[in-house]
Copies of this chain bind each other. A is one copy, B any other.
């Protein structure tokens, strides 16, 4: 079926797919001008977020979509019929403090440029496309995490509205100031019977694609995350007068534990484990450390493997503590399950890559994304785009126009492939 609205699209004057990349780069640059301060900082529901949402709505409307800003600040634009099956495409437009321009906006803009191309080509689609620009992915301002994509997935918890930012402003009041009715947040869930899938394009935020000289890769799954705070308690002492055999050095013990965390994290290619924080006390050159607090962050796409990692880490740390006569405590601070990607949509992305002459490459997403929330609504899949040195959450975040071009081409091909498979079924 060919939809009237799709045929009505007035695409920008483009002569070739080769310019997808240039348009993506220009639009990302345009959106990056909306910031709450120097550099790029665009926290959820800030004035810069509002300005960006308005700009995205304008782009959607210019591409022939019916678009609006919803009760939690999402920009939602629909391409194609207002009812019936819908393929969702999205990412986020909020940012961390002092961010790069691509983390989030790339996925929104790639979706927009793909829809522009589909409209320009007049491709018949057996479903509508809804493009979503989420607002609460970076988990910076409020205690919430992915609240805007969970709203679209129909899983908004009204208790989240009571959460407050560092200035004491509640999420409810911030939504009102943004210009929406927060009471509508729980009514945004899409019909799972009509949502045929969710696709998200995102920069990799890691070094794998660059190392393998690949412009894009398909995400096999989004890791689950376990976090813990650990405490090692030994005994302070004079660095000169306590013999090595009589010490209960908390830092020497913690150092051995940090080695164990690293070793367990490196056991498999799809696991990682990190100690990012370590604080020895009292912290003087001539005093044997009495206590060290450190953190653990362990990730893998397999929840059973992740649980085993944390069990092994805790057991090794306890054995080290016992052998050294120090006390060890471990307090879990996060248990976030893994999100596998949908095999059918993932295969559609891989087929689209093959059609563009790219080898298949599946990689794990070590970071969370809106796809985690959307996967609770419908099948979900993600396409990662190579970024310079894996740098993200930093003004140095960078991708090439060529890779952006490839991402849009793969997305367009994947949408066509999904359309063919539904038409064939």
Query: Which chain A residues have a beta carbon within 8 Å of chain B's beta carbons?
Result: 204-208, 211, 223, 225, 227, 237-246, 249, 251-252, 254-256, 258-259, 262, 265-266, 269, 271-278, 280, 283-289, 295, 297, 299, 365-368, 390, 392-393
Contact = CB atoms under 8 A, between A and B. Distances in A.
Nearest to A273: B244
Given A206-B243, A241-B365, 14 more contacts: A208-B246, A238-B390, A238-B392, A239-B274, A239-B297, A240-B297, A240-B368, A241-B392, A242-B366, A243-B269, A244-B272, A244-B273, A251-B276, A255-B262
B274 A366 contact: no
Given A206-B241, A259-B252, A259-B256, A286 B276 contact: yes
A288 B366 CA distance: 13
Nearest to A222: B240
Contacts of A256: 255, 259
A262 B255 CA distance: 10
A271 B287 CA distance: 16
Nearest to A266: B244
Given A252-B259, A258-B255, A262-B244, A206 B238 contact: yes
A258 to B, nearest CB: 4
Nearest to A283: B277
A276 B244 CA distance: 14
Given A205-B238, A283-B277, A285-B295, A244 B265 contact: yes
Nearest to A258: B255
B289 A239 contact: no
A87 to B, nearest CB: 27
A275 B262 contact: no
Contact of A237 (B254, B283, B299, B390): B390
Given A255-B259, A258-B252, A297-B286, A366 B276 contact: no
